[in-house]
Amino acid sequence: MKKITIAIDGFSSTGKSTVAKQLAKKLAYVYVDSGAMYRAVTLYAMKQNFISNDYFDVENLILTLDTIKISFIYNAKLGFAEVYLNDVNVEHEIRTLQVSQLVSKVAEISEVRKKLVEQQQQMGLNKGVVMDGRDIGTVVFPNAELKLFMNASAEKRAQRRYDELTERGDIVTFEEILKNVKYRDHIDSTREDSPLIKAEDAVEFDNSNLTLEEQFEQIYKIVETKLK
Ligand code: CDP
Ligand code: CDP
């Protein structure tokens, strides 16, 4: 069967990574969570004290970008690749609300984007890749055979993220998650470099009222048409 590139973009907590992982498993493709890379750079900036809620030393982050190594290492037990920052597993740490509150500021920086987009394009050279993020169909893989653009209501998305974080033991409130979801929607879609917009040829998908199974079933039907 021919190998294609699948680009999944959309707002926060719309189910992008869930469907991307399901597709990668079904097709035996590589899954790349591009958001995890922006989160890893953010975690690095936090650890270096380059960024906090009221402070951002952009200059020093840019100066030290070359020292940041991000890798994905497949975990057979989990069935997907975990993220490593300078050889340390940060899969859990990058998903905290604290990182979510700072990541969109870091993702606005063009030098950061340039570094990560180059690495993402390398990972997709041989096709057979499913990548999710904000600019995959518009910037990273503008020639992807299939582009999906996911959306759902902000309340639904915040509820899903709240459930996810509380389940893993994080102490958060629904209100702060909703605030963060709306805040990131705004910054991500209004920034100058690579804003979150639907690619002209992307298929729009609203899953506010779909279960994970229904969502996958509908999306896989679209995928099948591209594999012929
Ligand atoms: O999982 P969730 O949708 O909450 O976010 P994510 O995919 O982990 O992405 C975290 C943040 O990274 C986004 O809010 C964007 O600011 C940034 N991002 C980006 O700018 N470009 C991408 N291709 C992926 C993520
Ligand atoms: O990658 P993204 O931030 O877009 O979303 P995700 O991490 O795939 O999904 C966020 C949460 O919403 C996960 O816990 C999913 O299981 C859940 N979800 C859901 O319950 N129903 C959907 N139709 C889509 C996602």
58 CA distance to ligand 1 middle (Å): 19
> Dihedral of CA 130/136/138/141: which sign?
negative
ipTM over 0.90: yes
5-223: CATH architecture:
3-Layer(aba) Sandwich (3.40)
Measured from CB, residues less than 6 Å from any atom of ligand 2 are 12-18, 132, 160-161, 164, 207, 210, 212, 215
Task: Supply the pTM of this predicted model.
Answer: 0.97
Between the two ends of the chain, the Cα-to-Cα distance in Å is 8
Q: Any alpha helices (H) in the chain, and if so which ranges?
A: 16-27, 34-47, 58-63, 97-106, 110-123, 154-167, 174-190, 212-227
> Hey, whose CA ends up nearest to atom 2 of ligand 1?
12
- In angstroms, the CA 26 to CA 130 distance is 11
Give the tens place of pLDDT for each residue, 39-52. 999 999 999 999 99
> Hey, whose CA ends up nearest to atom 25 of ligand 2?
15
Domain ranges of the chain: 5-223
Give the tens place of pLDDT for each residue, 78-123. 988 999 999 999 999 999 999 999 999 999 999 999 999 999 999 9
Q: How many CB atoms lie within 10 A of CB 30?
A: 17
